[in-house]
Chain A
């Protein structure tokens, strides 16, 4: 589904990714861990097409298309979703309005008809309940005055409604208490399917207690230096990152 080859990228003329390789097949859950400043969040933004992130080398194929050739919104139309680490507020635009516009845009691009208001409202209410947010959040401005945890759950709600093919979660677990973490994990687990893949960017192995990954990768110095199964995460938890030196590419 996603194939990243020798990816080099810079932000503000600084090299962040330096030859990253990664293969994600349909239905797989991959976790990316690594020390601060290793390029974890950059990877998510490069994939989703954030302005200001320049690709200097390499290529990325997503569902048979050259991903790097597409505009940000076209990547979304193709089914790439990024749950933001720090979701921004859009004052005055209600969550419901935003969700409807967004789902409509994605469905339109895929040639599917738009949901009528009644059935969309029902779906939105269900998603809202699934992430344990009060229905009132649908009427509030997008992320306006939400707490950190509420913002993260709001991201998850968007993800549920958009039904993407590839979900990238950028430190969605950071700043969450244990209950909220469980809500997020339940949401992700409910969405797991044979045709949907996940890329979890996280600092902590804690998240992986709730969402069991198929593969764990260590990102350091802009490259994946070690890959393994779930047990790798536990090993990292116990030993930290220092025992891995950058020369040892898995």
Chain B
């Protein structure tokens, strides 16, 4: 197969690229203290939260955006972004799904998200964030029986203020980084989960994020607290319409796993990546971090195929003794997409263990970088890390980079790092074609094989979805 055929095979079509015609209340672009006051007031927030936001805003104004990542993009003009957009019909919050705007429901249907509980046989409870507002949370009653709290963060602020106040910013402090500070100032909505002591959450919890309005940023904030001995698996999916302008997504996700608790967080990210010429697409600048107490386990699994620029490092702070951190990642870039993604494993407790498996796939003219930090602190006696970092190149115009950082301050730590780079070879494609497979099917099969170790970490329905997503993302890219 020729280079040309391969290129044709990865030329891709973004299938979630429709817009929804809904009247929205969108705040005019611009960011001042008044913007923050507006958002806070709109959400009827308590005084402490407004103060918290304003403090974050002050901090943010004195900070500069990160310039160390291996990505290039024009400077973001934060005054040209709208920081709040809410579908008009949400003005009076719907009490049930029947009251939700049918257009909005149709949007989610198009995305294949079963919002109606009766359709949702898979038993996944879904919270949906559309632009800035959380639209509906399904299965709430069933979850309540188990004592699980799953709602939008705005609602949690009203109903469970103590939990929110105690944990918000406890894992990702406001001044952590430029985008985390921005998010802390202007976050509009997001999901909140609390699993009580000893409870195993009876179903997968899930959030879908969608940016609809033009020139809107999405700044959701997710807070998941797993109390002692509890267990939860959480899925996150994202899409956005095709727009010529770049849109900003700067989310913060905080996970708190108390003693003996386990949190599994899976993401399938399919934000609009821009067109083949690199026009438009989402800037995905996200801070995700989990704090693991004694014997707790935090596992991040991500499949990233979207966004024009991705800057994202889901991390684990292994504070408690014997705590475990895992990071399984597939990041695919095509056309002119750029990704700088990886993880941080911070070992503080004794006998803490972490595993990193990163699979980067570059096609087209894209650039894909893995950046990972493994730090073993002086107190982390007997810490262990295993890192495996593989890159797969499709075609000869793309790039893959690996930036591993290892800091060990305890001589008993054991850190292993393995890295490989390979190419979808002409011989592999020839073999597949000789056996009757067309080039696209062949590439998707080879890529899926490459990702297998990560896919098996995903909940089953998601593993299938992830495989299909890769197939779509690779359309027209065979090279």
Q: Which residues of A contact B (CB under 8 A)?
A: 48-52, 71-73, 75-77, 81-82, 84, 87-88, 90-93, 97-98, 101-103, 105-106, 109, 141, 158, 162
Query: Given contacts A92-B451, A92-B452, are A105 and B426 in contact (CB under 8 A)?
Result: no
Distance (whole angstroms) from the CB of B272 to the closest CB of chain A: 29
Q: Provide 24 A-B residue pairs closer than 8 Å at the C-beta atoms, listed in order of the A residue.
A: A49-B434, A50-B430, A51-B426, A72-B430, A72-B433, A72-B434, A73-B438, A73-B439, A84-B434, A88-B428, A90-B431, A90-B445, A91-B449, A92-B451, A97-B445, A98-B432, A98-B445, A101-B441, A102-B435, A105-B435, A105-B438, A106-B436, A109-B436, A162-B436
Which residue of B2, B428, B434, B450 contacts A82 across the interface (Cβ within 8 Å)? B434
- Which positions 391-441 of chain B face chain A at CB distance < 8 Å? 425-428, 430-439, 441
Which residue of B1, B436, B448, B452 contacts A102 across the interface (Cβ within 8 Å)? B436
Bound-complex Cα distance A141 to B434 (A):
18
Query: Given contacts A91-B450, A92-B450, are A51 and B435 in contact (CB under 8 A)?
Result: no
B436 touches A73 (CB 8 A): yes
Bound-complex Cα distance A73 to B437 (A):
6
Chain B residues within an 8 Å CB radius of A97: 445
Chain A residues within an 8 Å CB radius of B453: 92
Distance (whole angstroms) from the CB of A124 to the closest CB of chain B: 14
A141 touches B449 (CB 8 A): yes
Bound-complex Cα distance A101 to B445 (A):
9
> How many of chain B's residues have a CB under 8 angstroms from any CB in A?
25
Chain A residues within an 8 Å CB radius of B452: 92
Bound-complex Cα distance A71 to B1 (A):
9
Distance (whole angstroms) from the CB of A147 to the closest CB of chain B: 18
* B71 is an interface residue with CB less than 8 A from chain A: no
Bound-complex Cα distance A75 to B437 (A):
11
Bound-complex Cα distance A200 to B312 (A):
55
A90 touches B428 (CB 8 A): yes
Bound-complex Cα distance A109 to B446 (A):
21
Chain B residues within an 8 Å CB radius of A91: 449-450
Query: Given contacts A73-B436, A84-B431, are A93 and B441 in contact (CB under 8 A)?
Result: no
Q: Which 5 interchain pairs have the tightest Cβ spacing?
A: A92-B449, A93-B449, A102-B435, A72-B433, A76-B436
Chain B residues within an 8 Å CB radius of A50: 430
Which residue of A87, A93, A103 contacts B448 across the interface (Cβ within 8 Å)? A93
Query: Given contacts A92-B452, A93-B446, A141-B449, are A101 and B437 in contact (CB under 8 A)?
Result: yes
Chain B: which residue is nearest A97 at the CB level? B445
Query: Given contacts A51-B426, A92-B452, A141-B449, are A87 and B431 in contact (CB under 8 A)?
Result: yes
Distance (whole angstroms) from the CB of A98 to the closest CB of chain B: 7
Bound-complex Cα distance A81 to B431 (A):
10
